[in-house]
Structure 1
Amino acid sequence: MYVYVYVYVCMYVCTMYVCMYVCMYVYIYIYIHTHTHTHTDTHTHTQIYIYISDIYIYIHTYIRSTYIHTYTHTHIYIYICAYIYIYVHIYIYMCIYIYICAYIYIYIYIYIYMCIYIYIYIYRFAFPRLPSRPKLRFFRFRSVSVSPFPKLLSTMHLQQHQGSSLWLRQPVTASHVGTQH
């Protein structure tokens, strides 16, 4: 049980990280393709990574220059809006990819479990069963006793069938012998 949970959590975390990088890559690729005209013919991985690094350098340089040289709130608001604009789009794409991957994993698990259930159903009902052990009959359990005195109980049982009792055995006297015919 815990192994399956651990594997599922690891797969989900790995998928989340992969989706984060994929979403960032796709977002930068789309941004380069739609907003710039210099890189339309040569979309290479190096240019995309350079563009990502340029975004980070631009953000940090902008906040440092704004904070050091000017102390107006307008520049801080502009920086916050630009920061939110960039990262909200990245997080939106990341969440979309995470949900898509989660649904894919759920459908894969459902498909696997359905295949297992179908295999078990076909194996148990479509094909003949293996020969099982013969069941013990009822008379084999009659000799089993729970009493601490099994021999005494068996003796009493036999003597009751013979017409006498173990604790009510009367001695044979002359009066009894005389009355018998």
Structure 2
Amino acid sequence: MPDSDEILMRLAQEGRTDAFEELVRRYRGALLRVAWSKLGDAAAAEDVVQEALLAAYAARHTFNPQFAFRTWLWTIALRLCQRQWKRVKSPSQNGGMIEPAQVDSLPGLAETGLDQLLRSERVDVLHRALNALPEPQADALRLRFFGGLPYEDIAAAMQSSVSGAKQRVKLGLERLAVQLRQWSGTES
């Protein structure tokens, strides 16, 4: 298989389903991590990611290879996450608590280096703190740390400048730290 996502997408546009399957293999884990971090429910995250991949496949003929495939896909996924989030208005059916089994079931999560944090007893606090942030900052943090995206891709997916993406991540981290300190009672 070719290395370039754009070449794979061109092949998918020509009817090569194996090319699109390779793109799914490349992005599914990161998409799931971001969707799960936003929605707080593994089943809902799986549904959103499946919908995003199906939407990308259905719209494959509209993809413009002058732009990055990953940006196009992340934009689709973020919009679907936001739509689902607004529809449910709750991070999960269990009040925002993330079950350990849900964390374990997400493919590639250990690869992010966040597995120790996510397995800790404070995973629910982190999740609620992320959801308490303004949506642009929370989504920028999710894309950066759960999705592993560089700032350029975050900017493109969120339709902002690179400096805007960096600012959202910086402000998000600052607010997240304040929120976590307040909740733990160690405000300094």
Query: TM-score category by the smaller chain?
Result: under 0.3
Q: Which has the larger radius of gyration?
A: 1
TM-score (norm 2): 0.23
TM-score (norm 1): 0.24
